[in-house]
Chains A and B, each alone.
Chain A
Amino acid sequence: MSRTPVTKHDEGDGMTSLEMAPTDAGADGAAPLLEVRDLHVEFAVRDSVTKAVNGVNYSVSAGETLAVLGESGSGKSVTAQAIMGILDSPPGRIAKGEIFFQGQDILRLSEGERRKLRGAKMAMIFQDALSSLNPVLSVGFQLGEMFRVHQGMSRKDSKAKAIELMDRVRIPAAAQRVGDYPHQFSGGMRQRIMIAMALALEPDLIIADEPTTALDVTVQAQVMDLLAELQREYNMGLILITHDLGVVADVADKIAVMYAGRIVETAPVHELYKRPAHPYTKGLLESIPRLDHKGQELYAIKGLPPNLQAIPPGCAFNPRCAMAQDVCRTDVPPLVPVTELDGTELPGRHSACHFWKETIHG
């Protein structure tokens, strides 16, 4: 199963595949690679229920990068775990929703069928490479395991494949280092091994959960570049989960901002930074200091992220929002398409705010 490298369409043309709501999915003719519909995930804790994901919708097409942005506890990782089928359950439970992958609702599949998908069709890159790799097995063995388990390859062949993969992610002297153990590699190199492992079977979808958070900026730049390049080459769909607005700006095509288990805003990457349509996104953008000029006092979003066992009624962001009115405390705002003042549709843009007009148009 070899694929011809496809060059990524430039950012202007990317607009056609930027639709997010399920109804828009077929707009450009092809169904998206992955589509999450109204996903709800909850965790049963002693005598209450933590609602980690409360109705998430998003979709990714082949060759596209979706960045899921959110703070800790916003449900971005839990959504990814539900897609991969690696949710800790119990206590975790998918209460509602569908996940379509290549046109198939994978939540209806048996555990055995899911297992065949994992690694071969969809793969995940975790944040902390040191704790995700087995410390007592050599990296070559762990990389080769992919081929032995999924393709029944021999030890010798799988080792050759492992070396090839390490070369692919530009680990110097791969043939000599294939027998080394994870602790013998630096943080950046370990993350490259994680990427190699995810790429091994050339999956169609890669989920990267904070892939560079633990790395230094100079190494972070190397790893992100590598990931973006490989994605282009294999024309994979990429879901990039992060809290770093800077990393997102560099690589994503479209962004979904999560807060308290819901998507509060979606937009093509350039649009989001230029004109946020949700007060939370706006606040986040204003609260980060800039590298290129020294600003005045930082804008700080007041208060704290909500307790997921007691999410405020109405809009979950209302206690921290400067624009909150009575309606925000009672009615949950739906994720609606965002338009220009004259009603012109803004492709791919949605906001879950009662006052999105005021937010985006000032």
Chain B
Amino acid sequence: MAEPTKLAKDEEPKDDATPNVSKVEAVEVASETEAVEVLEAPAQRGEPILQVRNLVKHFPLTQGILFKKQIGAVKAVDGISFDLYQGETLGIVGESGCGKSTVAKLLMNLEQATAGEIFYKGQDITRLSGRALKAVRRNIQMVFQDPYTSLNPRMTVGDIIGEPFDIHPEVAPKGDRRRKVQELLDVVGLNPEYINRYPHQFSGGQRQRIGIARGLALNPEIIICDEPVSALDVSVQAQVINLMERLQNEFNLSYLFIAHDLSIVRHISDRVGVMYLGKMAEIGTDQQIYDHPTHPYTQALLSAVPVPDPEARAHRERIILTGDVPSPANPPSGCRFRTRCWKAEDKCAKEVPLLAVPERFKGVDTPAAHESACHFAEEKDVVGAA
């Protein structure tokens, strides 16, 4: 399944106005007649490698010391579903507190999900334990945000990158490890001679490369990246992003790329999901989300991003949201965005909008026909793409 995925990615049209069918996909679905089928680009990518269904994580709020009783829950993740395909990058964006990092922890099984399923190649990993879990974990690795705190300062680079081999000795036999670690250093663009150095001897960008090398050690299929470049300087960010893209092509990795920087997410992602207060607001290909957003939150988020181009800025409409994100312990009824939404009506307070292709766009051949959780979904170009 690797071949078509790669092709589809390379063939992605850059600035085409009517883009949703790239050449390869068009050939594959030539026989299909329904327009909607064509729009669901990922469907051509074969079986998803990771399927998340109605994932929920509530952190209980308790009162009392001796006789603890639960008085509520922080609804960090409240029923989200998405698929991740082999070789693709799914970007997850959202403001702080929207639950994007909790999703990462749930996928890694670092937190126990309150409800919902995570299928890795058809197997629900939330129910696994012991040896079976260990085997699955080998294939899902993580790269953390802060390269200053995620590397043990008392371990050498060789020990840090080699540590996964202690847990999964079948990947690299003991005598072979040093060579393997040096290979990994080379792959991420570090000098293999640095194997005996300590993390403090490296700069932020180099440390993030060490973190990536550790993530790659076990030849995983999925890498979950939680804000991998947000702690880095601009000139170094580009180096790390390019490295990650190169590694993806080389090893056919699937990335779940969590970040708050919308420009970077657009650059690296094939598909993008927008989260708000523990729910998925909108999900689609990068073009659908950035050039044809239909959810008001996505539109506001995109319009608020400062663009490093004073000329383009003049043509952009800015939507300034009022207020802050409500507390996830006590989210608004109905649509969670309604308290900050300029379109909100009575219906929004009563009915929770479902994540689906909006009724009005169903069966219409338009990039706006992607899943959006809004009662009044409407297309609006806020980025001002040429």
Contact = CB atoms under 8 A, between A and B. Distances in A.
A23 B206 CA distance: 43
Contact of B234 (A219, A224, A284): A284
Contacts of B112: none
Nearest to A73: B233
B101 to A, nearest CB: 14
Contacts of B12: 294
Contacts of B237: 287-288
A287 B306 contact: no
B385 A269 contact: no
A304 interface: yes
B313 A291 contact: no
A72 interface: yes
Contacts, number: 140
A299 B238 contact: yes
Interface string A202-238: 0000000000000011111110110000000000000
Interface stretch (B52-60, B259-267, B346-354, B371-379): B259-267
A288 B263 contact: yes
Interface in B225-243: 233-239, 241-242
Contacts of B386: 292-293
Nearest to B302: A291
A155 to B, nearest CB: 30
A295 B286 CA distance: 12
- Interface SS of chain B: helix, strand, loop or mixed? helix
A290 B263 contact: yes
In this complex, the member of B238, B267, B308 whose beta carbon has the largest number of chain A beta carbons within 10 angstroms is: B308
B364 interface: no
A102 B76 CA distance: 52
Contacts of B325: 216
A305 interface: yes
Contact of B309 (A249, A295, A298): A249
A351 B96 CA distance: 39
Contacts of A296: 14
A287 B238 contact: yes
B234 A287 contact: yes
Contact of B238 (A186, A290, A298): A298
A220 B304 contact: yes
Interface stretch (A109-117, A174-182, A240-248): A240-248
Given A273-B308, A298-B241, A71 B324 contact: no
A244 B236 CA distance: 14
B1 interface: no
B321 A218 contact: yes
A287 B235 CA distance: 6
B205 interface: yes
B238 A243 contact: no
Contacts of A186: 324
B333 interface: no
Interface in B309-333: 309-313, 318, 320-322, 324-325
A-B residue pairs, 7 tightest by C-beta: A246-B306, A289-B267, A287-B238, A245-B308, A216-B95, A300-B238, A221-B304
23 contacts: A71-B235, A187-B96, A189-B324, A216-B325, A218-B301, A222-B321, A225-B320, A245-B308, A269-B310, A287-B235, A287-B238, A288-B237, A288-B238, A289-B264, A291-B266, A293-B14, A293-B15, A293-B385, A294-B14, A297-B245, A298-B267, A299-B238, A305-B203
Interface of B: 12, 14-15, 95-96, 203, 205-206, 233-239, 241-242, 245, 260, 262-264, 266-268, 286-287, 290, 300-302, 304-313, 318, 320-322, 324-325, 383-386
Interface of A: 71-72, 186-189, 216-222, 224-225, 243-250, 269-270, 273-274, 283-285, 287-302, 304-305
